[in-house]
Structure 1
Amino acid sequence: MHRPATEAEYLAQMVPASAGRSGFSRRSLLAGSVIAGGLPLLAACGGGDSGGGSGDSSQPVTLGSNYSDETPAKVMDAWVADVKTKNNLTVDVNKVDHTTFQNNINNYLQGSPDDVFSWFAGYRMQFFADQGLAGDISDVWEKIGSGYTDAFKKASTAADGKQYFVPVAYGPWAVFYRKSVFEEKGYQPPTTFDEMTALLQKMQADGLVPLAFADKEGWPAMGTFDQLNMRLNGYDFHTSLMAGEESWTDQKVKNVFDAWKAWLPYHQADSLGRTWQEGAAGVNNKTAGMMVMGAFISQQIDEADIEDLDFFNFPEADPAIGADAVEAPIDGFMMSKRPRNEEGAKTLLEYFGSAAAGDVDTKIDPGQIAANTQSSTDGYSTLQKKCAQYVSEAKSISQFMDRDTRPDFASTVMIPAIQTFIGNPNDIDGLCNSIEQQKKSIFNS
């Protein structure tokens, strides 16, 4: 697949769905979008042009939201009600299906965007900041900064040293399972690759699908690659590979695909035709033993069984590398370049950066951890407490492939490459050669 001529052309076509919490629904277009020429496009809530003054916090603020699935939508409704009570701020939400939001974000931001919009930390934030499509909110950070660690501030800062993003929550990726299944079968969470292989074999012999697996959307399998690469080659190699600084023909990369190939027979079959929710159903109904997924898998577990959901760290492959690198993508909000109501937009962003906003979020969504360190953990479920401790003990934290690398490379190269590998894992040399050739074209442009 050839690369579009520009980043803008690419983003107008497709951005891979993020692995974060709001990337749950792959349903049809929801309220807040319009149809033009047969293609769904984002449209801002408010009318008028994209220019505007400082605005008035007493006037409505428009918010472009990809919180389209059931639980995220409930979180957004609760936020809107809470900021109305606490700040007397009215928020008009432009709710759009997550994938539609992703696919059209560039055109949206260059057109007549909402005052504030949901987005992601890392490269995704930096790209729009560098393109001049996001508003500087460093003054907001002067008010909310005490609630965040330096790592979160770094993840919100662009190359110019200014802040453009307010983190709200994060959720780690790991290997999730049902405690009752492990107890019934006598399984123990593995800590090494050899122990993992033995567990996969035992689950299969016991009549379970060892690893629930789905990649219809293209992004879920990225999490498995990331985990394998960090365990086999280390965090620094992984980040360098994502930055285009390492060769995909390096034997280190081929070893990742070789290791994955050895485990593919234990993955749920026909994964390319299955959504991640359908895959997670196997963990929920106990027909599958485990699933490599984000903590948002909790949304697919029956409410009565949430305390039965647990996870373990992706096993260690090499003692010299260890297993202290984890993935924990950060979700949050940004301000458009020229908001119609800048004062109101910054009031809303200040709210999103508050401890109270984190409390509202994590109370409704059991798969999320508040980014603000001052948010209460008193109401955290057992899973949330474990997730928070898990990430706090990590030596290195990655943001997920489609956030840690160029978006055009993630979408136009890695999604089809990984899906090709899943369908036919027998030509790893050819696969890596193809990835490397396309990488050079993209990163050297």
Structure 2
Amino acid sequence: MDHAMVRDRARAASLRRSLLAGVGIASATALLLTGCASADTTGGGERTTIRFLYATGDETWNNVVSELVDDFNEQSETTTVQLDPLPAGSDYATAIKTMDATGNWPAIVDMRDTLTYIQAGKLSPIPETVTELLEPDAVAAAANGDVYTVPNGALNGEIGLNIVYNKTYFDDNGLTPPADYAEFEDLLAEITANGDVPLATAAAEVWPSDQLWKQLAAPTFAEWGQEGGFWTAAQNGQASVEDLREPLQKLKDITDQYVLEGWQSTADAQTTTLLVNDMAVMATSSAGIGRLNDIAKVDPEFEAGLFIVPAEDGSINVLKNAVNGDTATGLAISAQAAEDEDQLAGAVEFLEYFYSVDAADLMEASGWIAPNIVASDEITRNSSIPGAADYFALLESPELVWYENTSPLANFSGFNTFFRQARIEMQDGQSSVDDTIAKVQAEFDKTVAAG
């Protein structure tokens, strides 16, 4: 970005500060918790330091966040963003609750439980100067008409939840990605018959347990897509956890017969190493093209591909990204930071940068799919990563079926964590499918009763 653009950004930030002060949005008390003004060693005056809390993930996402913040800090004359990462293995939704309980809100938060915190008044509306940079389908207003979260990546649904595989092995053994669920079962059996391990999964943290489960459960969830989603139907008494028996049984059978041992203590990122070292032919992933990029970094010669486990009829059911809802993710500005004009102006300035073409190009070059910005035609797309063509082809697949499955329950994320742990215990042989269904239903009923 040239110096004239930098000056324009600085003037814009200064103008926003003046406007905010004019309407009386000012409070020095939040400064102690959400950031501070620090002396600028370059002689350009004082800079406002703001914190950015985000959930760490695969290597690609972590690198993207770091590079974006470094690039922003180099060009901004008014704001310094300080990364506040939550280490992998933590329950991020629980961490946000703890942060809220201690009153220690950063300026920018990678949100979970969005609707809960909107209703509690913990988030500040995101101004139009940010939302106008995004395609209309990438943002959604809350019930009061304000927008509170904006996406941290492309809203391509859960296409990132897929199976990454060794293309060379497939070619050498005459195998192809499955066209329906029966072919997926045959694929697992054939690799096993070759004396090799078909699949690596991870459960050192609870969230990777979604990676295979959601692919198996998607056909059942999709059946309720027109009724507000499975969990809404369950809340209304139209569906129950018993309806998930078939995918739960599939999950247990696959784990028992085809998954590499030690999955309970395997970290998600570790599946990259297992794959390139030929310890498994396939691996579950939720990183999408980011996982392909990780593999290319570890072994540039490794030929990776990916596919999503299809339904019995060959459909590829993929959950839409909920741009607003209780479990929706996205970047938000905390209400606590918004009480300080400099904090708010700094947060807005960073988000405006986040949705610029410059930032999108940096994301794409690093192996991340940039958010759906209005200027998407100007983005330099990265098609050089081995296997990336498979990812982009999924977006155009005639078998792709989008469905919705959100829940308005305020405590749904807590139930979701319980359900994940219950599935892990079932896969590990600590409980039967029957016991899992019973205790998950009981927990869901408690969640519904709590409102």
Same fold, TM-score > 0.5, yes or no: yes
Which runs of 5 or more structure 1 residues have no equivalent in the other structure? Answer: 1-45
Relative to structure 1, is the Cα distance of residues 226 and 67 closer, same or farther in structure 2, using a 3 angstrom cutoff?
A: closer
User: Whole-Å Cα distance in 1 between the matches of residues 63 and 169 of structure 2?
Assistant: 30
State the partner residue of 2:52: 64
State the partner residue of 1:104: 95
User: Whole-Å Cα distance in 2 between the matches of residues 164 and 83 of structure 1?
Assistant: 22
Matched position secondary structure for 1:305: coil
Relative to structure 1, is the Cα distance of residues 63 and 138 closer, same or farther in structure 2, using a 3 angstrom cutoff?
A: same
Relative to structure 1, is the Cα distance of residues 64 and 306 closer, same or farther in structure 2, using a 3 angstrom cutoff?
A: farther
Relative to structure 1, is the Cα distance of residues 400 and 71 closer, same or farther in structure 2, using a 3 angstrom cutoff?
A: farther
Relative to structure 1, is the Cα distance of residues 106 and 258 closer, same or farther in structure 2, using a 3 angstrom cutoff?
A: closer
Correspondence 1:317 to 2:312 = yes
State the partner residue of 1:115: 107
Which one of the candidate residues 418, 430, 435 is aligned to 2:435? 430
Q: 1:67–1:98: 8 Å Cα contact kept in structure 2?
A: yes
Task: Give the partner amino acid of 2:212.
Answer: T
Following superposition, the deviation at residue 409 of structure 1 comes to 0.3
Relative to structure 1, is the Cα distance of residues 211 and 159 closer, same or farther in structure 2, using a 3 angstrom cutoff?
A: farther
Task: Give the partner amino acid of 2:362.
Answer: V
State the partner residue of 1:180: 168
Aligned CA RMSD, in angstroms, stands at 3.5
Residue identity over aligned pairs, in percent, reads 17
**TM-score, scaled to structure 1:** 0.75
Q: 1:208–1:288: 8 Å Cα contact kept in structure 2?
A: yes
State the partner residue of 1:390: 394
1:39-438 → structure 2 map (5 Å cutoff): 48=32, 59-66=47-54, 68=56, 70-84=59-73, 86-99=75-88, 100=90, 102=92, 103-109=94-100, 111-119=103-111, 124-144=113-133, 147-150=134-137, 152-154=138-140, 157-170=141-154, 172-232=160-220, 234=222, 236=224, 240-243=229-232, 244-245=234-235, 247-250=239-242, 252-264=243-255, 265-294=257-286, 295=288, 296-298=290-292, 300-303=294-297, 304-305=299-300, 308-318=303-313, 322-326=315-319, 332-339=330-337, 340=340, 341-364=343-366, 366-372=367-373, 374-375=375-376, 376-382=379-385, 383-391=387-395, 394-396=400-402, 406-411=412-417, 413-424=418-429, 427-438=432-443
User: Whole-Å Cα distance in 1 between the matches of residues 404 and 295 of structure 2?
Assistant: 26
1:234-277 superposed Cα distances (whole Å, 9 cap, x missing partner): 25359633344354443x31111122233221112232122222
1:3-41 superposed Cα distances (whole Å, 9 cap, x missing partner): xxxxxxxxxxxxxxxxxxxxxxxxxxxxxxxxxxxxxxx
User: Whole-Å Cα distance in 2 between the matches of residues 273 and 205 of structure 1?
Assistant: 26
User: Whole-Å Cα distance in 1 between the matches of residues 353 and 105 of structure 2?
Assistant: 20
Following superposition, the deviation at residue 230 of structure 1 comes to 1.4
1:390-410 superposed Cα distances (whole Å, 9 cap, x missing partner): 246544166899x99811101
User: Whole-Å Cα distance in 1 between the matches of residues 437 and 283 of structure 2?
Assistant: 26
Q: 1:79–1:357: 8 Å Cα contact kept in structure 2?
A: yes
**Which structure has the larger Rg over C-alpha atoms?**
2
Following superposition, the deviation at residue 68 of structure 1 comes to 4.7
Matched position secondary structure for 2:124: coil
1:144-174 superposed Cα distances (whole Å, 9 cap, x missing partner): 2xx3241x213xx333332111213146211
Task: Give the partner amino acid of 1:357.
Answer: A
User: Whole-Å Cα distance in 2 between the matches of residues 239 and 263 of structure 1?
Assistant: 30
1:336-367 superposed Cα distances (whole Å, 9 cap, x missing partner): 10323211211111221223222211211x25
Single out whichever of 73-82 and 192-201 deviates more from structure 2. Answer: 73-82
Task: Give the partner amino acid of 1:135.
Answer: S
**TM-score, scaled to structure 2:** 0.74
Which runs of 5 or more structure 2 residues have no equivalent in the other structure? Answer: 1-29, 37-44, 323-327
Following superposition, the deviation at residue 378 of structure 1 comes to 3.4
User: Whole-Å Cα distance in 2 between the matches of residues 129 and 178 of structure 1?
Assistant: 44
State the partner residue of 1:15: none
Q: 2:116–2:410: 8 Å Cα contact kept in structure 1?
A: no
Relative to structure 1, is the Cα distance of residues 194 and 176 closer, same or farther in structure 2, using a 3 angstrom cutoff?
A: same
User: Whole-Å Cα distance in 1 between the matches of residues 301 and 347 of structure 2?
Assistant: 36
Q: 1:167–1:332: 8 Å Cα contact kept in structure 2?
A: yes
Matched position secondary structure for 1:64: strand
Task: Give the partner amino acid of 2:117.
Answer: F
1:304-343 superposed Cα distances (whole Å, 9 cap, x missing partner): 4377221112122136xx3242576986421110323211
User: Whole-Å Cα distance in 1 between the matches of residues 405 and 303 of structure 2?
Assistant: 27
Relative to structure 1, is the Cα distance of residues 50 and 188 closer, same or farther in structure 2, using a 3 angstrom cutoff?
A: closer
User: Whole-Å Cα distance in 2 between the matches of residues 395 and 374 of structure 1?
Assistant: 27
Task: Give the partner amino acid of 2:285.
Answer: M
User: Whole-Å Cα distance in 1 between the matches of residues 370 and 99 of structure 2?
Assistant: 29
Single out whichever of 180-189 and 70-79 deviates more from structure 2. Answer: 70-79
Matched position secondary structure for 1:129: helix
Instruction: Count matched residues.
Output: 384
Relative to structure 1, is the Cα distance of residues 389 and 190 closer, same or farther in structure 2, using a 3 angstrom cutoff?
A: closer
